[in-house]
A and B are shown apart, each in its own frame.
Chain A
């Protein structure tokens, strides 16, 4: 279906990534946000608070991130599309509710505008420090989807995509922004509502009595949904549960439930991965990057090519699930992977794991606070190409 025109600010805008992400959420149908201020993500909820009264919905500033990250989930079961907006320290507080969203299959979008950690770190300094936290930070086994925009336009586009994926797969979907993408102002084109595809919640057509809250089929591992108040008398719990949603804490049921939940993503990873490639075929060196770093990396790739190096670029538009199969394929021809990141080396470990010794993998870490110097990545490429 198409976006509700009420939330779509059609036109050409000159706005930053935070504002663009908010517009993306409104276009995608998000009508409830429970927020808590944290630099450098606050502008997203500020804009939402300003826009939502005229669109029709609710913004509430909660007392902390713990409250924000579970209030949104209550709102999902009340029938709304929601997002959760934060940065590093707030994200740490929200981790328990990431697991709750996963086990209860509560569709929701999480925006993390990354800043330098650990702890309070550098609140206004950009980083890509949370790439592993979103993948592994909540206890227990779980899966998420993570998109990495590198421009305000993508903050808009990918937020809509994140909402659509959340509804399709019923897992938490992350928008992994960073301070630079969040605060960088560029042109953002917002199309007509009729040009924006929006995935509606997977509402059941079954009647109360026929419906089971977590019933699935072998063909479709994603259950249908209802909302509270519609007469279905559902039960939702963070305990290991059966198809009826009732606690069923037995070893076989734990295996059955978790197997399906994890399998939703792992068995469909090939449909989800998104690697944007440039000159990878025939390249000796392939630069793997994501988020704002991919723009710096592209400048370095172009300069290296001018110097005669055979360099390709593989940009992770979706970091999780990680495109391990594609990396393996690239490793058949490429000799070296160069992985610049605004952290001390996180996704590079995934590249190493996927490549499994078939090619050399070089990390180009950056502690954060600014983006890489182009020369730093260029030097790494030229060194690798020698």
Chain B
């Protein structure tokens, strides 16, 4: 995500689309209901999550804690920026 891209919310999610099995844990247990199923599906035929309401994402990583497939995690922008700097 480039710096000039307009940032919404306090954080974002990273999704490994091809590992997702579409269980919807992350969507149903997102505290701010920021996630939704993608219209597209992956190679295995599963709809994976996308950040439908980026304004609402706090980067809390609740999705990451719930994901049974290690396919998604969340992070706060300030932590991402620190990582970027450290890189």
A and B touching (C-beta < 8 Å)? no
